């Protein structure tokens, strides 16, 4: 999710055929809200992980099947160990959220607010930390229609400078107009 900068709903909507080769690179096709299709090249680590997942899950021969699948419920009824076999049904985004939270706990990450959107946000924030990052490119990666939505992930304007903090003057000091700014006025 981090490297795809995608919504969880777009990821779980992917079919196996939505992971494809274009020239020498692996690409993913995301299905965003409103039926919009969004093709994106894979980061090398994402490409390796997806290739390993597809091979381990043995789903390459099912191109029209869901890429991310729920666990097979038949295994539970048969008394087999839970979590050994992928089923044929698509993983719902709530299931993806459960996986994210469980994996975070297993990794020792104690963040109560972690969710599927955390990875999208982290991916964009990490991209914007790169000196060559461009708003237009981030907008394309995030499939945002409006650059204002993408610019919310930029944190360049969120840096508080010491000079700004030093302008805070408690104690009722007068401003340049001779008015005491810290006195309470009664409202008629």
**Exposed/middle/buried for residue 36 (C-beta within 10 Å: 0-12, 13-18, 19+):** exposed
Greater confidence (3 vs 148) lies with 148
* pTM, two decimal places: 0.69
The full set of domain ranges for the chain reads 8-165
Supply the pLDDT for residue 72.
Answer: 75
Across 6-33, average pLDDT:
90
Range of 97-106, 109-118, 169-178 with top mean pLDDT? 97-106
Q: Which H or E element spans position 37?
A: strand 37-41
- Tokens read off for 113: 């607010």
Question: Which of 1.10.443.10, 2.40.50.100, 3.40.50.10860, 3.30.930.10 would CATH assign to domain 8-165?
Answer: 1.10.443.10
Across 109-127, average pLDDT:
80
Q: Is the pLDDT of residue 76 over 90?
A: no
Q: What is the mean pLDDT of the chain?
A: 79
């Amino acid at each position: 999710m981090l490297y795809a900068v995608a919504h969880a709903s777009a990821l779980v909507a992917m079919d196996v055929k939505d992971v494809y080769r274009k020239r020498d690179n692996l690409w993913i096709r995301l299905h965003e809200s409103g039926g919009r299709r969004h093709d994106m090249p894979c980061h090398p680590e994402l490409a390796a992980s997806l290739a390993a997942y597809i091979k381990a899950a043995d789903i390459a021969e099912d191109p029209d099947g869901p890429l991310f699948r729920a666990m097979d419920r038949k295994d539970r009824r048969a008394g087999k160990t839970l979590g050994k076999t992928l089923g044929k049904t698509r993983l719902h985004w709530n299931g993806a959220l459960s996986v994210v939270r469980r994996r975070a706990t297993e990794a020792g990450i104690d963040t109560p607010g972690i969710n599927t959107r955390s990875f999208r946000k982290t991916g964009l924030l990490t991209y914007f930390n790169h000196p060559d990052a461009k708003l237009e490119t981030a907008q394309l990666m995030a499939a945002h229609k409006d650059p204002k939505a993408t610019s919310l992930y930029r944190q360049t304007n969120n840096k508080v400078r010491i000079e700004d903090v030093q302008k805070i003057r408690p104690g009722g000091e007068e401003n340049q107009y001779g008015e005491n700014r810290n006195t309470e006025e009664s409202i008629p």
